[in-house]
Amino acid sequence: MFWVGSATLFNLLVWVVAGKVMAVMLGPAGVGMYGLLRQFAQNLNVVATFNGSTTLVQGIASRPAEERTGFARNVAKIFLGLGLGIGLALLLIGPGLATRLLGREVPPALLRWMIVPLIGMSLASFFLGMLNGYRHIKALVICQALGPLVALALIYPCVWWIRGGGTWAYALILGAPYAVIGLAGGVVSYRKGWFAQAEAGRAHSSFGRDGRQFFGLSSALLIGGLAGTGVQLFVNGLVVRKLGMAESGQFWVAWSLSMTYVTVLLSSLGAYYLPSLSATRDPEAKKQLILTFTRVVLMFMPILITLVVILKAPGIRLLFSPKLLPSLRVFRWMLIGDLLKVLSWVWAFPMLAFAEGKTFLLIEVANALVWVVLAWLGFNVFHDIEFLGQLFCGVYLLYAGEILIYLWLRHRIRLPFGYWMHLARGMFVVGFASFLFWDRTTLPPVRVIFALVPAILNLWACLIKSERKAILSRLSIGRLNE
């Protein structure tokens, strides 16, 4: 968890520099175009891989060692076939999709260039899934670090090309970092022998079985993935059509900030949590693993969100541009819902680990429909993007409730009373900090202290008695050594 979290944090810091260059030189409209194309590329990747990276991890982790190579080879064939089909379709009908999906402000010819991020993201999805499934965490960390470095090297020339009318450079900055990550992961996989020629015959004979298992889970993941990334694209498209590309930039900054800082924790958890849960057979061990990770989130998310609440306005000025401060209208609401968002994701992992595709599909599609319908209705009532932040809170409250019902009905897992107390305190901590810094764009010291003290006390309250004694003991030893 520590190594993956550290790598993710490093990646985010490098991307911050790239985002700063783009925000300053292209303004809100340029950031909006980048965000819209990024979401479109993510949807392409979901379709071109059948959202199968998680299935690859689950399949490798849950199989005996002698069957893993064959399964990986068969999934590689599926990825290749799907990628070629989607790439060809994009080249043929891409321009016609531009105005229908993304609005008139997107140049139609630009969609043909989106084959570049399609190839890069597909490579990265497959080989990062391989590294995660085989638990090669060191290589996973190193490969993930290469992408942002490539983005940092490309961002300045790409921005100048874009300013000169070369909108194709958006595709380059979106695709090249992922392509390097994928190629690096491919080199590691080849050297480790995970595609050994000796396994080719076995892989060929098991292709039908592996294909059915892959599509069985990935069909649900595909629809669920499209429900997630498709909602983002749909809502962002509504913003573009109703309010223009500049407001789309404000919305994308809020959405990406909400996803970015949460990714530090979720990537750390997921690298260990998903393959470990997939490989666990004992029901009691599964229950303890789910509750352990729930407790980790309840301990650390409130103080993390509090820090983001305090630093949100200075952070946007530092990471992007003062011109993007209006994105706080959405972001401050999202911060309130982020604790529920992370918890619901942790509780939803068992659906993926245990290949419960129908349940996953039902819940994801239901919540996507809620998002789409309420967002569409909202744009006919409100004329500001702030209501999207409020909708974000409501949807994740609904989602968390649905996942808790699933855990009880399917796995007989209920949150202990103490966990509910941790959750109530955590929501109070986040709500109180949000109240103190709702419209603040500065950092008054007294308000900072008032916000941080409850967050620190909540972290201490989440510790069990033995953990508190251990911390106090270490502090005492430290003083004696001094």
Report the alpha-carbon distance of residue 34 to residue 57 in Å, rounded.
Answer: 30
Tokens of 189: 């996989």
- C-alpha distances (whole Å) from 354 to each of 116, 220, 333, 357 are 34, 13, 33, 9
pLDDT at 270: 64
pLDDT at 101: 62
CA quadruple 301, 302, 304, 309: dihedral sign: positive
Report the alpha-carbon distance of residue 403 to residue 359 in Å, rounded.
Answer: 10
Identify the CA nearest to 231 among candidates 221, 242, 223: 223
6: how many CB neighbours lie within 10 A of its CB?
A: 14
Report the alpha-carbon distance of residue 248 to residue 37 in Å, rounded.
Answer: 12
Specify the amino acid at residue 224. G
Count of alpha carbons within 13 angstroms of residue 23, beta-carbon side = 21
pLDDT at 247: 85
Chain centre to alpha carbon of residue 461: 29
* Domain boundaries of the chain, sorted by first residue: 2-478
Q: Is 0.85 surpassed by the pTM of this model?
A: no
Identify the helix (H) or strand (E) that includes residue 223: helix 207-243
> Mean pLDDT for each consecutive 10-residue tract of the chain (482 residues)?
68 72 82 82 84 81 80 88 88 71 70 89 90 82 85 89 87 91 90 66 68 77 73 81 83 81 67 73 83 88 92 86 88 92 87 76 84 88 88 92 90 88 93 92 91 92 84 67 53
pLDDT at 450: 93
- Residue 323 near residue 331 (C-beta atoms within 8 A): no
Query: In which residue are the tokens 């068992």 written?
Result: 350
pLDDT at 432: 95
pLDDT at 456: 92
Specify the amino acid at residue 141. V
pLDDT at 198: 44
